[in-house]
Amino acid sequence: MIILGIETSCDETSVALVNDLKIISNIISTQKIHEQYGGVVPEFASRAHMTQLLPIVREAFREAQLTFKDIDGLAVTCGPGLAGSLLVGMCFCKGLAASLKKPFIGINHIEGHILAVNAQGLPVEYPAICLVVSGGHTLLIYIKEPTKYKIIGRTIDDAAGEAFDKTAKILGLGYPGGPAIEKNAKTGNEKAIAFPRALMDNDNFNFSFSGLKTSVLYYVESLKKNNREIVIPDICASFQKAVSDVLVEKSIRALQEFKCNTLILAGGVARNSTLRECFEKQCEKYQKNFFVPAPELCTDNAAMIAKAGHIRLQKGEYSDFSLDVVPNLSLSDSF
Ligand code: KG4
Ligand code: ZN
């Protein structure tokens, strides 16, 4: 089965082709226009998707050396995301599905992140615990099997990626904040500043990151007031360690409580090499299997959407033309 995937939920225009075994092509174009505004401007995002989507579809087919006639179905992100951006992908998908007379399916973007490791063809064993850490979400999920999920924990305020982005803004490091913080942290001392690890000792699986960001703000302001040097690498390294500690601690605890041997780390923040190393080390210590997508499959991409579509279409599921985008779509318990 060859599936075409389309992802336009935020500021990445991406198109991919996957088959039963692997990703055949996965073209990702990150919109640059937003950098000068310090965050994504929704109207600019949808306009850029409009101009970029068709050339990227053509590029994906060219790279895969396939034609429209070769595909068996289509998958498109239907939410969560920016309404206008989602609509561009959705309308394109419906138009193509209608003209090719092929089935299509709307995919929850969060499920896409969860299944990125499957898109890569990694031998994931279930049940598993998955931590999704992206710009909009921080979720701990019990996965019985692909498409069967139970949410066991979530952030009660900012998402982990949002904390990276807001902290980078406080430090004047630009947007997106995650890569900038990671780069600066490389030369910093992670023990330099004792930032808080919120909810770490609570016996639930929820997270909170807004206090951490405020803590960085107060720390920077106090240095400025006292005319003391602001050592950006130390702040970045200490911040990154505080985020990693909480994420790792709760994920390992979830594995133990739900008697799972597999941990999956997913979402844009999973690109962070310190975080990846912390998870790898702890999983090794507790003898758990650890899966994390290749860096380019952690941030938004269409291969993960195509894979989710592949799994669902193969089960006989599909959407009809009344399907609409749902900007605030959540991942709900499915068993
Ligand atoms: O999954 P994603 O591409 O989009 C959403 O679905 O939100 O995640 C984007 C988030 C941003 O907050 C960005 O700062 C963060 O992922 N991110 C990182 C890194 N690369 C991207 N955070 C930490 N370290 C990174 N290297
Ligand atoms: Zn995402």
Each residue of 38-73: pLDDT tens digit? Answer: 899 999 999 999 999 999 999 999 999 999 999 999
Residue 80 in contact with ligand 1 by CB distance below 6 A: no
Q: Are residues 20 and 130 in the same domain?
A: no
Give the predicted TM-score (pTM) of the model: 0.97
Q: Is the CB of 79 under 6 A from ligand 1?
A: no
In a domain, 278, yes or no: yes
CB distance 11 to ligand 1 below 6 Å: no
Output the CA 112–ligand 1 centroid distance in Å: 15
CA of 259 to the centre of ligand 1 (A): 29
- 161 pocket-lining for ligand 1 (C-beta < 6 Å): yes
Residue 321 domain flag: no
Residue 174 Cβ contacting ligand 1 at under 6 Å: no
Distance (angstroms) between ligand 1 centre and the Cα of 167 equals 13
Instruction: Please check whether residue 259 lies inside any domain of the structure.
Output: yes
**Domain identity same for 76 and 31:** yes
Q: Same domain for 73 and 163?
A: no
Q: Domain check: are 79 and 152 in the same one? A: no
* Whether 287 and 157 share a structural domain: yes
Ligand 1 nearest atom to the CA of residue 299, by list position: 3
The total number of structural domains in the chain stands at 2
Q: Is residue 29 part of a domain?
A: yes
Distance 190 CA to ligand 1 centre (A): 20
Q: What is the pLDDT of residue 38?
A: 87
Using the mean position of ligand 1's atoms as its centre, give its distance from the Cα of residue 116 in Å. Answer: 15
For residues 111 and 168, membership in a common domain is answered with: no
65 CA distance to ligand 1 centroid (A)?
31
Inside any domain, residue 91: yes
Nearest CA to ligand 1 atom 10: 135
Domain that holds residue 14: 3-115+298-314
Measured from the CB, is residue 269 less than 6 Å from ligand 1? Answer: yes
- Which residue has the CA at smallest separation from atom 3 of ligand 1? 299
Is 324 among the domain residues?
no
Distance from the alpha carbon of residue 230 to the mean position of ligand 2, in angstroms:
32
Same domain for 260 and 159: yes
Ligand number with the minimum distance to the CA of 304: 2
CB distance 293 to ligand 1 below 6 Å: no
Q: 213: domain CATH number? A: 3.30.420.40
42 and 141 part of one domain: no
Q: Is the CB of 213 under 6 A from ligand 1?
A: no
Q: How would you write the pLDDT of the chain (335 residues) with one tens digit per residue?
A: 999 999 999 999 999 999 999 999 999 999 999 999 989 999 999 999 999 999 999 999 999 999 999 999 999 999 999 999 999 999 999 999 999 999 999 999 999 999 999 999 999 999 999 999 999 999 999 999 999 999 999 999 999 999 999 999 999 998 889 999 999 999 999 999 999 999 998 999 999 999 999 999 999 999 999 999 999 999 999 999 999 999 999 999 999 999 999 999 999 999 999 999 999 999 999 999 999 999 999 999 999 999 999 999 999 999 999 999 999 999 999 99
Q: Is the CB of 272 under 6 A from ligand 1?
A: yes
Q: Write out pLDDT tens, residues 268-280.
A: 999 999 999 999 9
* Same domain membership, residue 90 and residue 176: no
39 lines ligand 1 (CB under 6 A): no
Question: Does 73 lie in the same domain as 144?
Answer: no
Q: Is there a single domain that holds both residue 85 and residue 47?
A: yes
CA distance 9 to 313: 21
Model pLDDT, residue 17: 99
